[in-house]
Amino acid sequence: MSKTFGADQGVIVVSNRLPVSLECSGGTCYSSPVSGGLVTALSPVLTVNKGTWIGWSGAPDVEGVDEALRLFSKETGYTLQQVGLTSEQIEKFYFGFTNQIIWPLFHDSQFECNFDPDFWQTYLDVNALFACRTVESGESDDYVWVHDYHLMHVAKYMREAGDNRRTGFFLHIPFPSADSFRRLPWRSELLHGLLEYDQIGFQTLHDRRNFIQAISVLAPHIKVTGRGQVVTAKVGTRSVKIGAFPISIDYKKFYRIARSAAVRTYAQEVHNAFPHKNIVLGVDRLDYTKGIPQRLQAMHKLLTMYPELQGEISLLQVVVPSRATIPLYAKLKKQIERLVGQINGEFSKPGYVPIHYQYRNLAFDELLAYYRASRIALVTPLRDGMNLVAKEYCAANVERNGTLILSEFAGAAAQLRNGAILVNPFDVEGVAAAIHQAYMMEEGERRRRMDRMRESIRKNDIFKWVDSFFASAFTT
């Protein structure tokens, strides 16, 4: 539980998805908890405060969902409240506005945006539904913490309904430059919707600067003052705090389980499957922001520039299925598979395959074993709010001999720059050179770099993130 959040203070968490996975059949639904840093950090706060988590269940609005959520709430000690969505709302709100407009726009991929006005209207309608459920929930003095780009208008609709409880918002993805943000047809409405919150949190100071620049361009009458982690915008008679709060992981959990006998055994099996034992690891959701094609091209360049590494080093690339119904993602999957085939066709030889490609989900122990077994982690998104894979790799690297190659456009770069090799993911020759540098690096330097990163992540874990957000929210 957060040290700065009292047990007598109620809290409501609002996010697009509830922290539960449901399987429904014949009018009966079964629930299972969803793992993840946000759930790990917030569940204790909600349990102690008998709080509420509001979101969509991820399942169609069918009979049996409410009973499954009631039973789950009884086990956890906090309440789950579902916001039911129709198939049309899911299509236009989730697959439409958030995934075809906000996601590419905020990740500087604006040419993939589909500015369909119907998407915008459905986004507003769904935000109003979430706000309505929030207004009906909890007590009059509860703190309402809303998460991510799906729900930027919730505070606005709460205020219109007369609910003036304190609200906070955290954006888990990047905030774009003012020039990129201006491409959004509803830029002013979205900006002012965000400014209805009492506190707005971003991953990095760079994201916060972009937001403040958007204010100066689109709402120059709003003045922002202050210095340090949190600054203040004067919006009418209200003061809105704007801060940078880099999210993290449960370091102790990753470290503890990575050291377990089961993970150690699995990691050894992975080692044994690679005779040369020089594994470069990539783990990403299927998404065009992750830079997977560019990474594959860098591997091709590596094996061309440094032919002595042929037979000595392999990329183990895991792609986790995501948003497969969106045509752009299906096209990306085909592109990745084509590149893998081309590279393996050119450089494979008996006993050696340069790219080991997996398109599937990994169990938690399996993921940690991959982290332990890999000499190098290649984390090269084109743009990322934070990228927790980089931090997970370091926490699970219990031998302390791995090397992290990290995109300078990932939010994690600001924290891990003293240990990681930073690269421009668009520079395939530069990434290839970085892999060669990591391969040639002496063990002593590898350990020094890894120790610096691990200590930073240990001190600034997911619980420190919750504490810092609440400390700011409740400081006058």
DSSP designation for 219: -
CB 282 within 8 A of CB 295: yes
Specify the pLDDT at position 62.
66
Chain centroid, CA 19 distance in Å: 15
Q: Which residue has the tokens 């969505």?
A: 85
287, 384, 461, 467: the catalytic one is 384
Is 384 a known active-site residue? yes
Specify the pLDDT at position 453.
98
> Token pair of 353, please?
């395959």
> Token pair of 319, please?
């792609």
CB 218 within 8 A of CB 259: no
Concatenated DSSP letters of 312-379: T-EEEEEEE---TTSHHHHHHHHHHHHHHHHHHHHH-BTTB-SEEEEES---HHHHHHHHHH-SEEEE
- pTM of the predicted model, to two decimals? 0.94
Specify the pLDDT at position 75.
85
61, 66, 108, 172: the catalytic one is 172
Specify the pLDDT at position 61.
67
CB 298 within 8 A of CB 305: no
Rounded-to-10 torsion of CA 327, 329, 331, 337: -150
**Strand-strand pairing, 230-235 and 223-225:** antiparallel
Judging by beta carbons within 10 Å of its beta carbon (0-12, 13-18, 19+), is residue 228 exposed, middle or buried?
exposed
Phi, psi of 147, deg, nearest 5: -120, 130
Specify the pLDDT at position 421.
98
Is 125 a known active-site residue? no
DSSP designation for 309: G
Please state whether 26 falls in left (phi above 0), alpha (psi between -120 and 50) or beta. left
Please state whether 5 falls in left (phi above 0), alpha (psi between -120 and 50) or beta. beta
Specify the pLDDT at position 155.
98
* Chunked mean pLDDT (size 10), the chain, 476 residues: 58 94 78 78 86 87 79 89 92 95 91 91 98 96 97 98 97 97 97 98 98 98 95 97 96 96 96 88 96 98 97 97 86 97 97 96 96 97 96 97 97 97 98 98 98 98 95 91
